């Protein structure tokens, strides 16, 4: 039971963090790899409330990941954490209004099947 709860926190908090940070960065705009652009992008991103929400959610996901690793095998925890790919695509569709084509949904289904096989084994 504790593994399922911690995995749920890991997946939901990690996905929520990804979505919040993505929303913040869409507001910031394109950031180039040049030092001045990168510093400007970081400074602007830190003024976005969604960035802070995303960082807090990622910290919660990391704490859950650490707890999981303390009592479960890494060969289960890491593949099971791939459920965040499934929730990430669904969240991108629902919250960020991204267009997801059929091929991408098939890939997400394959990931879900793979996680189910790992957890069943």
pLDDT in tens, 11-49: 999 999 999 999 999 999 999 999 999 999 999 999 999
Tell me what pLDDT residue 2 has.
83
* pLDDT (tens digit per residue) in 71-83: 999 998 999 899 9
The encoded tokens of residue 103 equal 């091929």
Q: Do 100 and 89 meet the contact criterion of CB atoms below 8 Å apart? A: yes
Query: Is the torsion defined by CA of 14, 52, 62, 3 positive or negative?
Result: negative
Between the CA of residue 15 and those of 18, 31, 40, 41, what are the distances in Å? 5, 22, 26, 22
Write down the domain spans for the chain.
2-120
For the entire predicted model, the pTM comes to 0.89
Cα distance between residue 86 and residue 91, in whole Å: 9
Q: What is the band of 59 on the pLDDT scale with cuts at 50, 70, 90?
A: very high
Q: How many beta carbons lie within 10 A of that of residue 65, not counting itself?
A: 19
Query: Is the torsion defined by CA of 51, 54, 59, 65 positive or negative?
Result: negative
């Amino acid at each position: 039971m504790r593994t399922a709860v911690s995995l749920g926190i890991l997946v939901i908090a990690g996905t929520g963090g990804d979505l919040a940070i993505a929303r913040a960065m869409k507001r910031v705009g394109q950031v180039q790899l040049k030092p001045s652009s990168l510093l400007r992008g970081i400074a602007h991103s830190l003024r976005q409330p969604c960035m802070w929400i995303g960082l807090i959610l990622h910290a919660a996901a990391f704490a859950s990941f650490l707890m999981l690793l303390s009592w479960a095998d890494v060969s289960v925890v890491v593949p099971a954490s791939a459920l965040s790919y499934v929730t990430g695509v669904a969240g991108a569709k629902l919250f960020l209004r991204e267009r997801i084509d059929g091929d991408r949904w098939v890939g997400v289904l394959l990931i879900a099947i793979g996680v189910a096989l790992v957890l069943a084994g």
